[in-house]
C-alpha cells in the first residue's frame, strides 16, 4: 500500500512499526528477519524523537523503510466493490465513501484490499483511509533522518503477509496490548479477524497455575471462531493455528490447545518471535518485499 519504489539498490532495509504506545524496528540479518529494537512511547508525538535515537544507535542512516501503521491511526470500511475498471478504482474510492466519513475526502489518503468472494454478498472490498497529514508526517520524519520510504501498510495486511500464500487456511493468534488478535488467511488473502480479551494476565503466568481457566476459556473462544469461519465463510479445513503469544510455557500451551481443539497448533517462529510488535514488524518487511 502507498508504495514508493526506488531503482537504486539500498543496502539496508528495515520495517518500522508505528503505534500509539510502542514502536518497533525489524531488519534482515543473514537472510533472517530479526527484531532490532522496540521502545515504549506515550503518543505519536514521540515518534520522531524516539525513532531518531534508534536510527543513531543502530546506524540506520540511508535505509529503505517499510512502515506498518498501528490500528489506532487509520479507519476501515467494508463495502461493495464499485463497478468500474480496476485501473480507475483507486481514483473513485474517495467519492464512494464521502457520505460515510466525517472528514473531507480531499484531506484523506484512501486505499483498499479485496475481501474473499461470498456468493450472497458479491464482490466486497475493505477501504482503508487516514488523514493525508499523517502520511506526510511519516514521510517527512524519514526524510529528516536520512531514510527513504518504501511503502506504508497496516496491521491486518502485515499479519496476513506472515502466513504467506498457501491453498490451505492458516490462522495466527497474536498478542496486542490487552487483547489477542485472530487472523485467518487463505491463499495470501485476509478472510477474517477477531479480537479476544481477558487472557493476557493468564498467559503471563506459569501454565500449571492457570491451566484449567486458560485452556477452557481460550479453547471455547477459538472454537466459536472456528464455527463462525465454517458456517459463514465456508471454510471447514484448517491447516495450522500458529500462536504468537508471550507465554512462559508456549510449547506446552500449543500442545494442550491442539488436543482440546483437535487441530495442529504450534508456536509461530523462534522463541524471540512471539511478541506482537516483533511479528508486525516482520510482516511489514515481508509484505513490502513481495510488492
Whole-number pLDDT of residue 273: 52
- Which domains does the chain carry? 13-71+135-158 (3.30.420.40), 72-133 (3.30.420.380), 164-289 (3.30.420.40)
The predicted model scores a pTM of 0.81
Quote the mean pLDDT of the chain. Answer: 85
Band (pLDDT 50/70/90 cuts) for residue 42 is very high
Query: Which range among 11-20, 89-98, 115-124 has the greatest average pLDDT?
Result: 89-98
Whole-number pLDDT of residue 278: 59
- What H or E segment, with its residue span, contains residue 174? strand 169-176
Name the nearest CA neighbour of 163 among 138, 183, 179: 183
In degrees to the nearest 10, what's the CA dihedral of 178, 125, 157, 17? -70
Could you tell me which residues come within 8 angstroms of residue 262 by beta carbon, excluding any fewer than 6 positions away? none
Amino acid at each position: 500500500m502507498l508504495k514508493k519504489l526506488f531503482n537504486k539498490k539500498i543496502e539496508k532495509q528495515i520495517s518500522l512499526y508505528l503505534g500509539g504506545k510502542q514502536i518497533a524496528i525489524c531488519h534482515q540479518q543473514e537472510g533472517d528477519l530479526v527484531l532490532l529494537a522496540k521502545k515504549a512511547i506515550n503518543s505519536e508525538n514521540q515518534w520522531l524523537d524516539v525513532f531518531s535515537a534508534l536510527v543513531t544507535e543502530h546506524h540506520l542512516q540511508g535505509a529503505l523503510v517499510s512502515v506498518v501503521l498501528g490500528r489506532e491511526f487509520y479507519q476501515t470500511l467494508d463495502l461493495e466493490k464499485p463497478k468500474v475498471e480496476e485501473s480507475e478504482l483507486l481514483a473513485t474510492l474517495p467519492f464512494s465513501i464521502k457520505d460515510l466519513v466525517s472528514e473531507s475526502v480531499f484531506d484523506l489518503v484512501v486505499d483498499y484490499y479485496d475481501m474473499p468472494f461470498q456468493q450472497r454478498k458479491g464482490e466486497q472490498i475493505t477501504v482503508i483511509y487516514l488523514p493525508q497529514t499523517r502520511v506526510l508526517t511519516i514521510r517527512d520524519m524519514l526524510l529528516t533522518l536520512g531514510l527513504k520510504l518504501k511503502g506504508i501498510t497496516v496491521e491486518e495486511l502485515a499479519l496476513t503477509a506472515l502466513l504467506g500464500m498457501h491453498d490451505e487456511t492458516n490462522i495466527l493468534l497474536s498478542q496486542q496490548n490487552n487483547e489477542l488478535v485472530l487472523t485467518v488467511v487463505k491463499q495470501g488473502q485476509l478472510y477474517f479477524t477477531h479480537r479476544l480479551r481477558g487472557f493476557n494476565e493468564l498467559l503471563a503466568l506459569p501454565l500449571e497455575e492457570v491451566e484449567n481457566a486458560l485452556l477452557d476459556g481460550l479453547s471455547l473462544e477459538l472454537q466459536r471462531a472456528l464455527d463462525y469461519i465454517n458456517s459463514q465463510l465456508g471454510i471447514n479445513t484448517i491447516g495450522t493455528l500458529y500462536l504468537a503469544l508471550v507465554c512462559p510455557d508456549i510449547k506446552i500451551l500449543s500442545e494442550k490447545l491442539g488436543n482440546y481443539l483437535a487441530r495442529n497448533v504450534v508456536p509461530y517462529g523462534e522463541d524471540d518471535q512471539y511478541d506482537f510488535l516483533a511479528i508486525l514488524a516482520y510482516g511489514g518487511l515481508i509484505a513490502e518485499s513481495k510488492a
